[in-house]
């Protein structure tokens, strides 16, 4: 399959919560948009846009979701203050949290006492639509890779809502840029994220190449590193990656997916390596390391 790469920059119009578990009474957020979250939002939007009536049949969502899996691939999306998509402050860098993350506190009321219900106080962490230090607009930057016969995903981005707390208006985004990268590519591959990676598009799945001492920018299957001995070392956090799925009986989001043990974004590989972008944007290692000093 041949893929076309697009640089996508979304302007964040409301708070954004990407669930990462609970600590005490705080619902934590991931500081980036995962491939699973983007896949789910696009599947929902494309299904509803294509339905002749209310889209309540889980089989409709499952069918569209399979098409999205087969014809679209995503990188994760990262917050930035640059409308051209340049990311120069990553979630693992000092100062990121103070600039991009805040919390919203709420509680339920007990009637007729007109007081806070015991045990209901909670905080929801979120990515802010404007930076906390200077009030600059926040953008989400990444890449969409469209394969043959991909659905019209660009139009879906104009009505996209991402993440949790959407009933309160959270997760609204507006496209700033959705530009196709130059064709033909320079040297048979495109540079991504200001040259931190390159991507090959004339493959069954898009293949990324990273040089040594590069941070992972998506979850990468930990087992692949051990099984293939793909790198001599990875320095970073290992976590189980799970999500909510819809059952065949049409019960939306009640089933947990099988956990996949991954190195988290921000982990650093000490030797160059190659990854294919698998389902939900998870990176799968493809082969032995690139020798140090290789171009």
What per-residue confidence (pLDDT) applies to 230?
47
Q: Are residues 18 and 142 in the same domain?
A: yes
- CATH assignment of the domain containing 46: 3.30.70
* Residue 224 domain boundaries: 188-295
Q: What is the side-by-side strand order in the sheet with 234-235?
A: 214-215, 268-269, 234-235
Is 10 within 8 Å of 144 (Cβ atoms)?
A: no
Q: Are residues 159 and 235 in the same domain?
A: no
- Asked which of 181, 207, 223 is the last residue of a domain, the reply is 181
pLDDT at 184 over 80: no
Q: Are residues 272 and 236 in the same domain?
A: yes
What per-residue confidence (pLDDT) applies to 105?
77
| Across 268-292, average pLDDT | 77
Q: Are residues 158 and 219 in the same domain?
A: no
Q: Are residues 69 and 164 in the same domain?
A: yes
Instruction: Report which of 137, 138, 136, 124 is spatially closest to residue 168, judged by C-alpha positions.
Output: 124
**In sequence order, which residues have a C-beta less than 8 Å from that of residue 46 and are 6 or more positions away?**
64, 68, 151, 153, 156
Q: Are residues 132 and 255 in the same domain?
A: no
Is 201 within 8 Å of 3 (Cβ atoms)?
A: yes
- The string of pLDDT tens digits covering residues 63-73 is 899 999 999 99
Distance of alpha carbon 43 from alpha carbon 64, whole angstroms: 6
- Asked which of 181, 196, 220 is the last residue of a domain, the reply is 181
Q: Are residues 239 and 255 in the same domain?
A: yes
What per-residue confidence (pLDDT) applies to 122?
67
- The string of pLDDT tens digits covering residues 85-136 is 999 999 999 999 999 999 987 666 556 666 656 555 668 999 999 999 999 9
Q: Count of domains in the chain?
A: 2
Q: Return the minimum-mean-pLDDT range out of 102-106, 145-149, 165-169, 181-185.
A: 181-185
Write phi, then psi, for 240 (nearest 5 degrees): -80, 130
Q: Are residues 143 and 209 in the same domain?
A: no
Higher pLDDT, 107 or 223: 223
What per-residue confidence (pLDDT) applies to 260?
87
Q: Are residues 175 and 196 in the same domain?
A: no
Query: What letter would DSSP give residue 66?
Result: H
Q: Tokens standing for 70?
A: 């087969």
Distance of alpha carbon 100 from alpha carbon 126, whole angstroms: 8
Cβ count within 10 A of residue 28 = 19
Q: Are residues 124 and 199 in the same domain?
A: no
What per-residue confidence (pLDDT) applies to 217?
96
Q: Provide the pLDDT confidence category of residue 293 given band limits of 50, 70 and 90.
A: very low
Q: Are residues 16 and 152 in the same domain?
A: yes
Instruction: Report which of 21, 17, 16 is spatially closest to residue 242, judged by C-alpha positions.
Output: 21
């Amino acid at each position: 399959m041949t893929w076309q790469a697009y640089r996508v920059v979304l302007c964040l119009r409301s708070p954004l919560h990407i669930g990462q578990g609970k600590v005490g009474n705080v619902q934590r957020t991931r500081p980036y948009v995962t491939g699973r979250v983007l896949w789910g939002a696009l599947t929902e939007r494309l299904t509803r846009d294509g339905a002749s009536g209310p889209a309540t049949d889980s089989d409709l969502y499952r069918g569209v979701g399979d098409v999205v899996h087969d014809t679209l691939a995503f990188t994760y999306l990262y917050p930035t203050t640059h409308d051209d998509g340049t990311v120069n402050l990553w979630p693992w860098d000092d100062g990121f949290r103070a600039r991009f993350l805040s919390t919203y506190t709420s509680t339920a009321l007990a009637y007729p006492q007109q007081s806070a219900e015991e045990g209901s106080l909670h905080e929801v962490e979120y990515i802010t639509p404007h930076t906390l230090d200077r009030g600059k607009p926040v953008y989400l930057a990444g890449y969409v890779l469209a394969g043959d016969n991909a659905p019209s995903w660009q139009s879906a981005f104009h009505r996209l809502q991402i993440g949790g707390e959407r009933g309160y208006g959270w997760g609204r985004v507006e496209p700033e840029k959705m530009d196709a990268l130059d064709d033909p590519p320079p040297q048979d591959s495109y540079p991504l994220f200001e040259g931190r990676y390159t991507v090959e598009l004339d493959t069954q799945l898009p293949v990324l190449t990273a040089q040594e001492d590069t941070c992972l920018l998506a979850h990468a299957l930990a087992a692949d590193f051990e099984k293939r001995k793909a790198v001599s070392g990875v320095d970073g956090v290992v976590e189980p990656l799970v999500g909510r799925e819809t059952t065949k009986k049409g019960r939306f989001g009640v089933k947990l997916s099988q956990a996949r043990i991954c190195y988290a974004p921000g982990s650093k590989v000490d030797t160059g390596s190659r990854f294919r972008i698998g389902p939900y944007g998870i990176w799968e290692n493809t082969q032995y390391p690139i020798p140090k000093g290789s171009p």
